Amino acid sequence: MLAIERHERILAQLDKNKRVKVSDLSNLLQVTEKTIRGDLELLEKRGLLKRVHGGAVLFDVEGRMLPIADRQLSHHEVKIAIAREALKKIKPHETVLMDGGSTVLALAKLLGDFPVTVITNDIKIANVLLEKRNVQLMVLGGMRIDQSSSLMGSQATEMLVRMKVNKLFFGSTGVSIDHGLSVFNSIHADWKKHIIKCSDYITLLADSTKFEKVALIQFALLEDVDAIVTDSSLSNEIQRKLENDQFQLHIAQI
């Protein structure tokens, strides 16, 4: 088993149980306790857990990927404000790709019933758009991943690689000036690489709590996006740094 696969399994056990033991992880992953201790040390350095005697505990619950129902309740007004700002970028007759996520779901709910093509891999987003008669909807098939409402895998990817879309709207678990965009799961990371590659104009929707956080797997650099939409709680220091980069920064007032 590769180190990155062990790290994913360790974080999955932490998300499930809130605490893990070195001995249990050693048995589960079929590696030595020395290897597990090294893994925990590395993950602690990245701010993903806190080592304790004999194991580790969750370090930062806020930064983790929650089920979408829970994420919708978190920063609800902020996500709506970001979605309103992002909505200004969608024009009639465009082809838009909406990745899964609570903020992109808020964008789908605000989208007017006008002629636009929307491609998505998210069941909740698809259900919202079904009610809009003038929106041409294409749903990418695949397997449901974790507890999310997103469908991913080889089937969805095969459909995606044949496409070229005007605009992409997506989110990220971690957003870092130095370390780029990151998520906890390699399947999510690979998927986001594909959706970025097939899109002409790429917009990241990320509330201010996501910034300067790093998840397990990097999937893009900040330079890979064309625009970032966030909220006015983002610190002035980070705003200044972002304004020096080669993309548009849009601040939703809250």
**CA 129/CA 152 separation, integer angstroms:** 19
Q: What is the mean pLDDT of the chain?
A: 89
Fold (CATH) for 3-59: Arc Repressor Mutant, subunit A (1.10.10)
**CA 213/CA 199 separation, integer angstroms:** 25
Question: By mean pLDDT, which of 69-78, 141-150, 180-189, 226-235 is the weakest?
Answer: 69-78
Q: Highest mean pLDDT range out of 111-125, 154-168, 175-189, 235-249?
A: 111-125
CATH entry, 68-252, from 3.30.830.10, 3.40.50.1360, 2.140.10.10, 3.90.1150.110: 3.40.50.1360
DSSP 179-206: TEEEES-HHHHHHHHHHHHTEEEEEEE-
The two tokens of residue 194 are 């594909």
Q: Tens digits of per-residue pLDDT, 6-29?
A: 988 888 888 778 899 999 999 999
pLDDT at 152 over 60: yes
pLDDT at 46 over 90: no
- Smallest Cα–Cα separation from 199: which of 171, 163, 173, 229? 163
| Domain definitions of the chain by residue range | 3-59, 68-252
Global confidence as pTM = 0.79
**CA 82/CA 174 separation, integer angstroms:** 17
